[in-house]
Amino acid sequence: MELLEARIESIAAGGAGLARVDGKPVFIKGGIPGERLVFNITKDHRSWAEAELIELLDASQDRVHPVCGIYGICGGCNLQHLDYKAQLAAKTDILKDAFVRIGGCSPPEPIVIPSEPWEYRNRMQFHAIRESGKKSAGVIWGLKSEKNAVPVPDCPIADPGIRKLLGEEKKSLLTPLGKDRFTVYARGDLFLCEGVCGRGKTRILDQDLSLDASLFFQSNGAMLEKLIKDLLAIAEEADHSMPMADLFCGVGTFAAFLGKLFPRSDLVEENKAAIALARVNVNAPADFFAQRGEDWVKRNSPKSYGFIIVDPPRQGLSQSLALRLAVEGPPLLLYVSCDPATLARDSKILTAENYTLKELRFYDFYPQTAHIESLAVFAK
């Protein structure tokens, strides 16, 4: 094993520390900017490498002791070794860097909206670790690491309802028979478990929204409320005489609030189970389309709307959808993103035509991790 020394330059997308050896980028898990450390290469690619931290030669003042006893093992958090304010700064830099490298521009300085750093996560996916030869008794709940499922006796980022259950034997009764992977949702008095008690309602601001544990729903309820309040304030600037559209609408969370500002909402979502719940959650005039966004725009011109919000998965917008929105989109377009790289890529397409990136916000939905949720406001 060859030991090398280097100084960490920055936190890279994904959470690893970035160093360089003879100009070659090396990503070292657990490294913090400014630290000099000893490491060894674990995977050597042509233009970059991955490495394991062996020894800290001088630690950063931003380094803290991880709260979780299985930090670095379970495959979940990857920034618990970094002070929370430093986490926010590092992720803000990652967001800005994506726009410079991929989007080819310097974005507006992001507005940073922090979260409670612990006990924030309402929705989690667990793996059932079963004792050999047993179907339900003796089931342990685990999280998926890089190689296998790791037993989780506690999780300090989880909602208190999930943390309480992790320490109790009765959780085995909630494990869906025959399912090795399942999702739970807990907030306040509500507890849902996919395959057992999967459907319920949660209070978001002044509304009860129906959700299903098996379908996507934002995992940080407190941050979701902050985001919705901001969306409502921004949407006040739109033309309220024209309809709005909500693409990748999921269970209709955004339109349930924003739809009241417009004469009609068009909700587009390819997951048929999600669009069925959206019909329940949206009480304003609305039409529902169980199809992909790129198929929807073939028959519905974006210029017929005064306001559009998109919330795509990590892959971002398809090129055809991004181009159509760029050319025919409404005066105000909001883009909720879970990946800075695809947001920057799509922003380059949008701003090459009629739009200006008016505002960029970073919502820290997932403290202690490198995940970055953001909102880009595009205006003509």
Tokens for 126, please give them.
Answer: 């667990």
Q: Match 């300085």 to its residue by tokens.
A: 109
Annotated catalytic residue, options 77, 155, 249, 338: 338
**CB contact at 8 A, 185 and 217:** yes
2's tokens: 């060859």
Phi, psi of 65 (to 5 degrees): -80, 125
How many Cα atoms sit within 13 Å of 238 on the Cβ side? 30
Between CA 57 and CA 51 the distance in angstroms is 16
Distance (Å, rounded) from C-alpha 63 to C-alpha 43? 25
Residue 103 has phi, psi (to 5 degrees) of -85, -15
**Residue 77 tokens, joined:** 């958090």
Stated as kind and residue range, the H or E segment containing 225 is helix 221-235
Question: Which string of DSSP letters, residue by residue, matches 341-365?
Answer: HHHHHHHHHHHTTT-EEEEEEEE-S
Distances (CA, A) of 331 to 124, 197, 275, 316: 37, 43, 26, 21
What is the Cα 14 distance to its own chain's centre?
Answer: 12
Whether 155 is a known active-site residue: answer no
Q: Which residues are catalytic?
A: 338
